[in-house]
Amino acid sequence: MPVPRSQSKPQPEPAPEAGRRERKRNQTLDHLAATAFGLFEARGFEAVTMEQIAEAADVAKGTLYNHFPVKEALLAHQFHGELASAMGVMEGLSDGSDERVGFVSHLSSWLEASAQWYEGRRAYLPHYLRFRFRQVDAAARARDDVGERSGMERLFEAWIEAGQGRGELRDDLSPAHLASLLQHLHLAALMRWLASADGDLENEFAAIVAIFVHGASRPLGVRKPR
């Protein structure tokens, strides 16, 4: 017989030792990624080897490969950490629950701010994007609906869930489903920008907001130019 909600037992708190292990693991990941990025900046991404990264980080090669199988994984971890730190997009930033700020405002403001960061990391973006799309492909081949999700996608999901709760967004698709679609639009915008010598990333981001929220149909009252 199901236990009534009011009588359900509270879930136990994580063991302190488990929390310490997770913090230590995260510190190791951050250290390895930061060490690798320092080498990338000094010598160039292509010139740096995994062996050199392990030596500079003072860890065994096996330890490095256990955490990061390829250089691009180190770059992705560094990128996600920088974005989180620079714009507060991880645990400390608004989760979208602020009733005064709607989904479009959250998303537009974040994309506008992140555009400046991307412009400063443009040389590394091709490596990062290839890695991200390989992750997507691997997840699809394994029939994995989740795969490895970036902090951005988790942030998008929080904003979408809050927007659905306010009635701003359709709720026949799950927040995770919509966040995945938005993440792919985000990656596509970056690719278009990289392929254009004079592209404007803020305009690319504005376009994906419009497409995601309103679709590709022409706004009412706007006629096709002759």
Give 93-110 pLDDT, tens digit per residue. Answer: 455 555 556 899 889 988
Phi-psi region of 54 (alpha: psi -120 to 50; beta: other; left: phi over 0): alpha
> Domains of the chain by range and CATH?
17-69 (1.10.10.60), 70-215 (1.10.357.10)
Give 27-43 pLDDT, tens digit per residue. Answer: 999 999 999 999 999 99
The larger pLDDT score, comparing residue 10 to residue 203, is at 203
User: Residues 101, 159: contact at Cβ < 8 Å?
Assistant: no
Residues 56-64 have a mean pLDDT of: 97
pLDDT at res. 144: 52
List, in sequence order, the alpha helices (H) in 44-174.
50-57, 61-67, 71-87, 103-120, 125-141, 151-165
pLDDT above 90: residue 18: no
Q: Report CA-CA distances (Å) from 150 to 33, 117, 126, 136, 157.
A: 15, 16, 17, 11, 11
pLDDT at res. 202: 94
Question: CA-based diameter of the chain, in Å?
Answer: 68
pLDDT above 60: residue 131: yes
Output the pTM of the full model.
Answer: 0.70
